[in-house]
Chain A
Amino acid sequence: MTAREQEFLEYVQSGGQVETHDWMPDEYRQRLIKFIEMHGNSELMGVLPEREWILRAPTLQRKLALTAKVQDEVGHAQLIYRVVEDLGKPREQCLADLVSGKSKFHNVFHYPTYTWGDVGVIAWLVDAAAIISQKALLKCSYAPYARIMKKICWEESFHILHGRDVILTLVNGTGTQRELVQEALDRWWTPLMHFHGNPIEATDDPMVVWRIKSQANEEARQQFLEGYVPQIWELGLTVPDPKLRRSDEGVWEYTEPDWDELRAVVTGHGPKTAERLDFRRLNLEETAWVRNAVLAEAA
């Protein structure tokens, strides 16, 4: 590492923030691009499981709320890809790498949805897990990313209310509705435990070292368990992990998730990976004329 890079590293580690046109080490730029692009991909892919339920939403109110949420998340993707573009990777390239399977998106968006219970669990608990990561990004050393995260966190805060409202309505309903929630929770628990990544030490995690992320993976997972397991239990639901308990020191103990499954899923081998990427590819082709028309108009 050169003296200049060392100085930069110390600057970000002491809480310094970086703007688009500031000098930055190439490694920092590349890590930012990869991480932020993956976040953008996840917003864009994350709407697909929910989109499947717009036509099947149980009430008009739910249909409108779900549609609005999908719009919000596509909007997040636009803002996030903008940040990536300023770092040097064009949006068209991000989209091409996404549909070709070259770049990644979040593990939870590789799984199928079977019932309205899945929609509730995604909107409540997947969003809850996401908010924990995203709130930590408000302190990201790259300031343009931290700034748009303010708007994103603000919108996520009512998405999570929407999810909780769906769950509460179901658990207050018939026995069958309650079962839908329990079954969905059983399906989503493993992906939720995978969500924050394997428990790599903060000092070994380059994302934390460069202060792109401000918390270690296990810290985020503990925060999720601490915040949400009691909320799940108070509804009379069962978390499908017999080892799950809070120790006297306040640390959550759990069955070690299968990290190989996480690795397989995020490298493109999830149950819905191929289908959802196909849909995204088709969608990209079908909307190409819009982009061409808009850009030709300006030229």
Chain B
Amino acid sequence: MIWEVFRQERKGQPFQHAGSVAAPEAEFARAYAHEQYGRRGESAALWVVARDAILDVEDFVDELGRNYHRVDGYSLKEKLKEARERAGTAVDR
């Protein structure tokens, strides 16, 4: 059985994929992951997850090029400039 190991370097940081271990059951997986990815205090915590339990999602397609739900959909610079000029608040920078 294959177990994926995710490693957190310091408390508060994200868990990142580090590698995998082969182990017949959870207890062995815990011991192997501990030995491979934590024996020098290089990890604050590990997530050891049976590979079969991971849902793989990869189908990210944006056929319609929708940008109204992303920051790159909003270019305010020109509009703000015009608005300031109209309001008489434009300053030379």
Contacts and interface: CB of A to CB of B under 8 A. Distances in A.
Contact of B19 (A79, A294, A297): A79
B17 interface: yes
B24 A82 contact: no
Contact of A151 (B18, B20, B24): B18
Interface residues of A, number: 18
A295 B23 CA distance: 9
Contacts of A91: 22
Nearest to B16: A147
Interface in B19-67: 19-22, 24-25, 28, 35-37, 42, 56
A147 B19 contact: yes
A253 interface: no
Nearest to A79: B19
Given A147-B19, A148-B19, A294 B24 contact: yes
Query: Which of B19, B35, B56 neighbours the largest number of chain A CB atoms within 10 Å of its CB?
Result: B19
Nearest to A91: B22
A147 B36 contact: no
A123 to B, nearest CB: 18
B24 A298 contact: yes
Interface string A232-248: 00000000000000000
B93 to A, nearest CB: 38
The binding surface of chain B is classed by DSSP as mixed
Contacts of B21: 78, 82
Nearest to A81: B22
Given A75-B35, A75-B36, A78-B36, A147 B24 contact: no
Contacts of A299: 24
A169 B37 CA distance: 31
A209 B56 CA distance: 30
A295 B18 CA distance: 25
A86 interface: yes
B54 to A, nearest CB: 11
A298 B36 contact: no
Contacts of B17: 147
Nearest to A143: B17
23 contacts: A21-B56, A75-B35, A78-B21, A79-B19, A79-B36, A82-B2, A82-B20, A82-B21, A85-B22, A91-B22, A144-B19, A147-B17, A147-B19, A148-B18, A148-B19, A294-B28, A295-B24, A297-B24, A298-B1, A298-B24, A298-B25, A298-B28, A299-B24
Interface of A: 21, 75, 78-79, 82, 85-86, 91, 144, 147-148, 151, 154, 294-295, 297-299
Query: Which 8 interchain pairs have the tightest Cβ spacing?
Result: A298-B24, A148-B19, A298-B25, A82-B20, A79-B19, A295-B24, A75-B36, A294-B24
